[in-house]
Amino acid sequence: MTDILRSERAAEELAAEHTVGDPFAAAIRATRMAMIVTDARQADNPIIFANDAFLALTGYHREEIIGRNCRFLQGPDTDPAAIATLRDAIVKGEDVAIDILNYRKDGTTFWNALYLSPVRGKTGEIAYFFASQLNVSDKKRVEFELGDTRERLEAAVAARTADLTHALQQKTALLHEVDHRVKNNLQLISSLLLLQTRRVTDPGVKNSLRGMLERVSAIATVHRRLFQSDDVERFDVSAFVRDLVSDMVGATRRDDITVRLDLERIDVAASKAAPLALVISELFSNALRHGFPPETMEGRTGEVFVGITRQDADFRIEITDTGVGVENSASSGGFGLTIVQLLCQQLKARCQTTPADPGTRVVVYLPVNGVHH
Amino acid sequence: MTERPLDVLIVEDEVLLATELEFLVGEVGCNPVGLAMSSDEAVAMASDLRPDLALVDVHLRDGPTGVEVARTIHDKCGGVALFMTANVKRLPDDFAGACGVIGKPYSEHGVKTALSYLTICLREGRAPGQPPIGLELAPAYAERWGLSGLPQAV
């Protein structure tokens, strides 16, 4: 007996068990879900039943498939791993649900959501396999498209990130270059002023040049401090004052003047750093240079106090000396004080000068939020 | 231990800075022995003149070659280099054998105190205390001059 004949015989036996009046058989024949039954007891597990939906889905005629193993549905692009899973489930007699690429008679493909399950006879041995096929090509296409889209998006994001990283590196390099040039130019300006100070003999001119050198140094200190910190947006005023004071006191070489500091840490916006630094430098220099004329000291020692604190909505910067007082000071007054006035105007700060008995107290009130309330 | 002034070589391609620096070196009692503007000049002068101290800018006439100059002076000329640069953050961690760095822009007073301080360090092999503001010591020299373990002033 040929295989085909045996399969037909098996099909007849199956049909005999489920005659015309059997509602389950009628349902399986008529359902829109493609279904087949294979005979597990025959060699190579051939198809013995296929419903119309299966024929419609695959494009085969019934007589072309009865008696054949259903692997004719597989083709070159069918995933071998999916085939292995299927085979494994059949060997073990287990259920399996898997999406697998199948081929129609005309060679076109469809994605098959395959469900395969053993059917056991009365004695428990596997008599048949039952399989249902659902065409899920549309769902699969959407999945693939989504996957493609995601891959394209990921590639676009990666490319953009690389661009931005490169741009950031360039900007950082540029920033370093500019910072470097600014520092070198400030150094150049200082050196020019120092060189000329060495040449001139007129004490008035020498003093003016000294004053300018101090101002340039104050700006240079600001710049060094700004780029030393991690945050180039904020400027630590107290750290600046420590640098400035140490430098200016050291440069005056006056052992008879001591400096007392009481500095709370305050940060101001970087845009305010240079004007504020110039104000402090000017006031401190004034106290140092004009508060204590050597001929008035007579063995006494003088003190300059710098205090920085926050008072309500203001930063309060105090510079007090125990010197001869404003009215007795030989301060040129002119240019230095003009600078202080102009810059306070720019900073929206108030500057108050009062007698300290002895000496002078200058207090600058700088609004924390940029405006006075 | 000798009290003769330190011989100082200036390696700087900005001639106005170099000229002013020469004055400062002289004012603190050191002996300026020469001015080099490129790395070749610097290495040649360091080999010939054997300065005690070389003040080395990183950017010279032939590019950012100051780091290699400092390394050569340290390795082959027996002198000590001190960087003077606006690019403190770009120096190698070992300072290329240099003893430290003065960041630009520096002040007249800052350079003078640094030079006076280093004069003592070089003469006595020990630091007289923490380095002055504006001078940062290389870790190897801070240790050599007895400053390791002490908190470093920034």
Nearest CA in chain A to B133: A243
Does residue B113 sit within a domain? yes
A315-349 pLDDT per residue, tens:
999 999 998 877 665 555 578 889 999 999 999 99
| pLDDT at site A60 | 95
Does residue B117 sit within a domain? yes
| pLDDT at site B147 | 87
**Percentage with pLDDT > 70 across chain A:** 96
Q: Are residues A126 and A248 in the same domain?
A: no
CB of B64 within 8 Å of a chain A CB? The answer is: no
* CA dist., res. A65 & res. A109, Å (int): 18
Question: Which residues, in sequence order, are CB contacts of B65 under 8 Å at separation 6+?
Answer: B38, B39
Q: Are residues A128 and A237 in the same domain?
A: no
Weakest-pLDDT range from A90-94, A290-294, A313-317, B145-149:
B145-149
| pLDDT over 70 (residue A114) | yes
Of A135, A157, A172, the domain-final residue: A135
- Rounded to two decimals, the pTM is 0.70
Does residue A202 sit within a domain? no
Other CB atoms within 10 A of residue A181 CB: 11
Tokens read off for A281 = 């430098």
CB pair distance less than 8 Å for B107 and A246: no
With cut-offs at 50, 70 and 90, classify the pLDDT of residue A7. confident
CA-based R_g, chain A, Å: 47
CB of A179 within 8 Å of a chain B CB? The answer is: yes
| pLDDT over 90 (residue B46) | yes
CB pair distance less than 8 Å for B105 and A190: yes
Among A177, A190, A236, A243, the strongest candidate for a mutation testing the B interface, having the largest count of B CBs within 10 A, is: A190
Mean local confidence (pLDDT), A19-43? 87
What mean pLDDT, rounded, does chain A reach?
89
Please name which of A289, A282, A292, A293 lies closest in space to residue A317, comparing C-alpha atoms.
Answer: A282
A278-306 pLDDT per residue, tens:
999 999 999 998 888 888 888 888 999 99
Does residue B154 sit within a domain? no
Of A176, A184, A247, the CB nearest to B110: A247
Does residue B153 sit within a domain? no
Of A90, A108, A135, the domain-final residue: A135
With cut-offs at 50, 70 and 90, classify the pLDDT of residue A239. very high
Of A194, A217, A246, the CB nearest to B133: A246
| pLDDT at site A27 | 86
Does residue B149 sit within a domain? no
Of A88, A114, A135, the domain-final residue: A135
| pLDDT at site B151 | 55
| pLDDT at site A328 | 60
Tokens read off for A314 = 């203001």
Q: Are residues A131 and A236 in the same domain?
A: no
CATH code, domain carrying B88: 3.40.50.2300
| pLDDT over 60 (residue B152) | no
Nearest CA in chain A to B89: A228
Does residue B93 sit within a domain? yes
| pLDDT over 70 (residue A1) | no
Nearest CA in chain B to A251: B109
Helix A270-290 to helix A203-228 angle (10° resolution) is 140
Domains contained in chain B, number = 1
CB pair distance less than 8 Å for A194 and B107: no
B60-85 pLDDT per residue, tens:
999 999 999 999 999 988 889 999 99
Does residue A212 sit within a domain? no
Tokens read off for A227 = 């780029």
Does residue B71 sit within a domain? yes
| pLDDT at site B154 | 46
Mean local confidence (pLDDT), B85-108? 92
What sign does the CA torsion over A251, A257, A261, A266 have?
Answer: negative
With cut-offs at 50, 70 and 90, classify the pLDDT of residue B110. very high
* CA dist., res. A329 & res. A304, Å (int): 15
Domains contained in chain A, number = 2
| pLDDT at site A300 | 85
Contacts of B60 in chain A (CB under 8 A): none
Contacts of A179 in chain B (CB under 8 A): 86
| pLDDT at site B3 | 73
CATH code, domain carrying A325: 3.30.565.10
| pLDDT over 90 (residue A57) | yes
Domain hosting residue A91, numbered range: 3-135
B15-35 pLDDT per residue, tens:
999 999 999 999 999 999 999
The DSSP H or E segment spanning A309 is strand A302-311
| pLDDT at site B32 | 96
| pLDDT at site B1 | 45
Phi and psi torsions of B74, nearest 5°: -65, -45
CB of A176 within 8 Å of a chain B CB? The answer is: yes
Q: Is the preceding peptide bond at A358 cis, omega within 30 degrees of 0?
A: yes
Please name which of B111, B89, B98, B91 lies closest in space to residue B69, comparing C-alpha atoms.
Answer: B98
CATH code, domain carrying A82: 3.30.450.20
Does residue A336 sit within a domain? yes
Domain hosting residue B22, numbered range: 7-144
CB pair distance less than 8 Å for A242 and B14: no
Tokens read off for B40 = 């070749």
